[in-house]
Amino acid sequence: MSGISVSRPGGACALAFSIGISMALASCAGPVRTSTLTPLDPAVVAMYAPVENEPFRIPAADIRKVEPRYYRQRVPTPIHIGAAPGTIVVDPSNRFLYLVEDGGTSMRYGIGVGRQGFSWTGDATIKSKQEWPKWFPPAEMIARDPAAAPYANGMEGGLDNPLGARALYLYQGDKDTLYRLHGTPDASSIGRAVSSGCIRLLNQDIIDLYNRVPLGTKVIVLGGPETLPPQDTFQSVAGGPGANQPI
């Protein structure tokens, strides 16, 4: 674990306390958003394979539930991003997160966006990075859901923790924005506006991002509409030679 400790690292990123049950049901009955007849790119399968060298074994991501445009990939930096290399730009409306690189490219990650993902925009700085972070249910959740009460002092990191394998904490000066970039095992939520939470990436992707960015990284969160419907249909992604390659 590295970075500055935070007293309430769960912040505004509150997920339904029944997330474990919901995800289990989704894995059995959730929509498969890619064709089961379409062969998967071996590079993509390898990118989202199980992660063994962690305190908790991370299962392979069910990438058939993720539209291919949301797979981690290097792309030409879009004009509307307009940020310096080394900057993270979150585009909630399009469900993408960009890590801007030198040479006109960016590493792009698919994200899931919750209510809090649309409630805050602006510039911030990563002042804390946590591996397998502790999560604190907010007081209103504890009040309405007795099952959350045992976690008033925090839920330890693990596969059932709503913050996933990693979390990046955004600050403006010394003020915690309560805005998090964090992991999730729920592949069906990537590319969608989910019911609650901040910005979620697949656990494999948040680990990749975590390893690429240091403390002090600038983060720009673009504005977006307050509510957006789930995106369940495919859209083509334009790009020149070498674009949209999984990394």
Enzyme catalytic residues:
182, 198
- Answer yes or no: are the C-beta atoms of 170 and 125 closer than 8 Å: yes
Q: Which of 181, 179, 172 is nearest to 202 (CA)?
A: 181
- Answer yes or no: are the C-beta atoms of 84 and 100 closer than 8 Å: yes
Residues contacting residue 228 through CB under 8 Å, at least 6 positions apart = 93, 113, 118, 193
Neighbouring CB atoms inside 10 A of 100's CB total: 20
Neighbouring CB atoms inside 10 A of 13's CB total: 27
The residue written with tokens 């809090």 in the block is: 116
Computed over its alpha carbons, how large is the radius of gyration of the chain? 17
Structure tokens at 8: 């309430």
d(CA 192, CA 232): 8
d(CA 220, CA 199): 13
